[in-house]
Amino acid sequence: MKKTIIATALVLGIGTLAGCGTQSSDNTSKQETTAKATPSNEKHVLDWSYSGKTGPSNWGNIKPAYAISKTGKAQSPVKIDTTKTKKDAKITNITYKYQPTSFKLIRKDQMIQATAQPAKGRPDSTINVAGKDYTLKTINIHTPAEHQIDNKKMDAELQLVHTSKDNKTVIISVLVKSGAENKAIGDLTSVVANSTNNKEQTLKTTISTLGLIPTNDKHFTYQGSLTTPATTEGVTWFVYETPITMSTKQLDQLKSKLADNNRPTQPLNERVIYSN
């Protein structure tokens, strides 16, 4: 079933948590022997990182609240083998009611979070999945991408995090490759490049949220977790197969502060991945 899109005011030009079963070879594929620094001489804010003693393979040992990172059986991200997915048009259906949205952004070490801001006289950006509404709350960014489809590694990944009134989470994952400049993202990449650790900033332009969703509707869904500590499970993921593009300049701006902030892929275990 194709996705349904409802948008009252889409402005493409200017205006548009995150993620172990038993440790596998995927988890150790990233070198963690040397801690990559938060950009320049910034002081670390978080008690975890993407390398060294506080890197992904050790998240579950940092404190009890993070234990599921090593004991969980439904962790994210994952590798998606398209030949092994199961078609189900009903559970993969998404209805979008997206609006151009203003965001405030904060970077904590290599973790970035852009938080949607309410606008007077304009509804929030929402999606409907299985009859339930979810409101867009944040956009998280990873460079390179965390999810892999048929072992293809993309340059970046946007994770659009939505929550429902009963606190259920749905994350829309959009992969990014190098190519044409992305107009929908507004000034987000330049704001990231000029960000100060742990200091909130407001984007000057709105983000055309619907413009971030690939026009090719092929996507996959599975049950997983956030991809940063505490890697809480019970998250429904939708991962689009076709990447959007960003220019080399835009990707370099992201990498200047976020390079290698991707958690290695996690064991799929007994989970089923569905496609539309």
Report the pLDDT value the prediction gives residue 119, as an integer from 0 to 100. Answer: 86
Report the pLDDT value the prediction gives residue 4, as an integer from 0 to 100. Answer: 52
> Where are the domains positioned within the chain?
75-275
Record the tokens describing residue 198, joined without a space: 């742990």
What are the DSSP E strand ranges found in 184-262?
A: 201-202, 207-208, 219-225, 233-240, 244-246
Candidates 3.40.640.10, 3.40.50.1480, 3.10.200.10, 3.20.20.100; correct CATH number of 75-275? 3.10.200.10
Angle at 247 between CA 10 and CA 139, to 5 degrees: 50
Averaged pLDDT in 10-residue chunks for the chain of 276 residues? 43 36 39 42 93 97 98 98 96 95 97 94 94 98 98 98 98 98 97 97 96 97 98 98 98 98 98 98
Report the pLDDT value the prediction gives residue 29, as an integer from 0 to 100. Answer: 40
- The C-alpha atoms of residue 42 and residue 51 are separated, in whole angstroms, by 16
Report the pLDDT value the prediction gives residue 122, as an integer from 0 to 100. Answer: 87
DSSP structure class, residue 181: -
Report the pLDDT value the prediction gives residue 192, as an integer from 0 to 100. Answer: 98
Record the tokens describing residue 115, joined without a space: 């938080």
pTM for the complete prediction? 0.87
